[in-house]
């Protein structure tokens, strides 16, 4: 019995020379735009500055509020730069027709503008991430734990050091940070990586406000640390975790 030859569909190249942008946008914004039903609805408007000496352009994106859900910000910073990679945009419709829709000439990164609206969204996300699901478990199902007596001996401080010790306790109490769970911290870190691709440890911890050793432990699991190059001493999400930022052409 003769083998059937595989049928290869033609690839349509009429639009190959059309220039397109590769846009990286926050997940929440991309999800809202995917739910827009009206094809003719304007998503937003962009104002661009003049191109810099390095060939980059900065600007502002103002999103149409009617295309957004919940309390997603409407103002975003954008950075446009030429891409050295030769990327093509493919499409495949329901009939099996394959085509190249254009060539990527520029990449565009969209980042939320830090304002009151953005701060409110961050606060709400943090509160949601800290809500834990409560379960009811009968006491007889819990593992039995043997009780043990622990004795502590606390030495009384010298009189001359009592004042210094009191000041030290007050300082420690005021600087004490509330430690999150590992999952809560991961959610917060993922959120900040929606704004930027690269973060130095000190700057990231300024926003997270967690013990530095705890933050480094989490970053070691989900990030790559750059020891040299243009992003030296910065962390970047590992490829498998970069679904926190959606890419659309």
Q: How many domains does the chain have?
A: 2
Please indicate, yes or no, if residue 200 is contained in any of the structural domains: yes
Q: Which of 82, 113, 144 is the last residue of a domain?
A: 113
Please indicate, yes or no, if residue 212 is contained in any of the structural domains: yes
Please indicate, yes or no, if residue 153 is contained in any of the structural domains: no
Residue 148 — pLDDT band, cuts 50, 70, 90? Answer: low
pLDDT at residue 246, as a whole number: 45
Please indicate, yes or no, if residue 77 is contained in any of the structural domains: yes
195 and 105 share one domain = no
188 and 106 share one domain = no
Residue 214 — pLDDT band, cuts 50, 70, 90? Answer: very high
18 and 97 share one domain = yes
Lowest mean pLDDT among 55-69, 101-115, 147-161, 186-200: 147-161
Please indicate, yes or no, if residue 134 is contained in any of the structural domains: no
102 and 195 share one domain = no
pLDDT at residue 174, as a whole number: 42
pLDDT > 90: percent of the chain: 18
107 and 185 share one domain = no
Please indicate, yes or no, if residue 173 is contained in any of the structural domains: no
Mean pLDDT score, 95-116: 87
Residue 243 — pLDDT band, cuts 50, 70, 90? Answer: low
Question: pTM for this structure?
Answer: 0.45
The domain containing residue 221 runs over which residues? 179-249
More confident residue, 96 or 189: 189
How would DSSP label each residue in the chain?
-PPPPPPPPPEE-TTTT-EEEEEEEEHHHHHHHHT---TT---EEEEEPPP-TTS-EEEEEEE-GGG--TT--SEEEEEEEEEEEEEEEEEE-TT--EEEEEEEEEEEEEEE--SHHHHHHHHHHHHHHH--------GGGSPP----------PPPPGGGHHHHHHHHHHHHHH---PPPHHHHHHHHHHHHTT-S-EEHHHHHHHH---HHHHHHHHHHHEEEE-SSTTTTEEEE-GGGGGGEEEE-
Q: Which of 113, 134, 154 is the last residue of a domain?
A: 113
Mean pLDDT score, 134-147: 66
Q: 164-195, pLDDT tens digit by residue?
A: 454 444 444 444 567 888 888 888 888 888 88
pLDDT at residue 155, as a whole number: 60
Please indicate, yes or no, if residue 33 is contained in any of the structural domains: yes
pLDDT at residue 121, as a whole number: 78
pLDDT > 70: percent of the chain: 78
Read off the CATH number of the domain in which 205 is found.
Answer: 1.10.10.10
Mean pLDDT score, 208-227: 91
Whether the per-residue pLDDT at 225 is higher than 60: the answer is yes
Q: Which of 62, 97, 113 is the last residue of a domain?
A: 113
Please indicate, yes or no, if residue 192 is contained in any of the structural domains: yes
15 and 107 share one domain = yes
Whether the per-residue pLDDT at 74 is higher than 60: the answer is yes
């Amino acid at each position: 019995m003769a083998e059937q030859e595989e049928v290869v569909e033609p690839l349509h190249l009429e639009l190959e020379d059309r220039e397109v942008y590769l846009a990286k946008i926050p997940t929440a914004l991309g999800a809202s735009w995917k739910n827009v039903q009206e094809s003719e609805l304007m998503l937003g408007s962009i104002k661009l500055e003049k191109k810099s000496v390095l060939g980059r352009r900065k600007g502002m994106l103002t999103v149409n509020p009617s295309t957004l859900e919940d309390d997603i910000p409407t103002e975003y910073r954008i950075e446009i730069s030429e891409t050295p990679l030769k990327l093509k945009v493919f499409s495949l419709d329901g009939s099996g027709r394959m085509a190249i829709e254009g060539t990527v000439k520029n990449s565009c990164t969209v980042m939320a503008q830090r304002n009151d609206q953005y701060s409110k969204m961050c606060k709400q996300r943090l509160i949601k991430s800290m809500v834990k699901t409560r379960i009811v478990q009968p006491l007889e199902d819990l593992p039995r734990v043997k009780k043990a007596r622990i004795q502590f001996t606390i030495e009384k401080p010298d009189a001359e050091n009592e004042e210094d010790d009191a000041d030290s306790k007050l300082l420690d109490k005021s600087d004490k940070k509330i430690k999150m769970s590992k999952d809560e911290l991961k959610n917060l870190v993922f959120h900040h990586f929606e704004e930027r691709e690269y973060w130095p440890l000190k700057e990231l911890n300024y926003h997270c406000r967690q013990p530095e050793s705890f933050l480094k432990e989490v970053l070691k699991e989900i990030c790559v640390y750059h020891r040299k190059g243009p992003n030296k001493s910065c962390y970047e999400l590992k490829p498998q975790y970069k679904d926190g930022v959606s890419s659309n052409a």
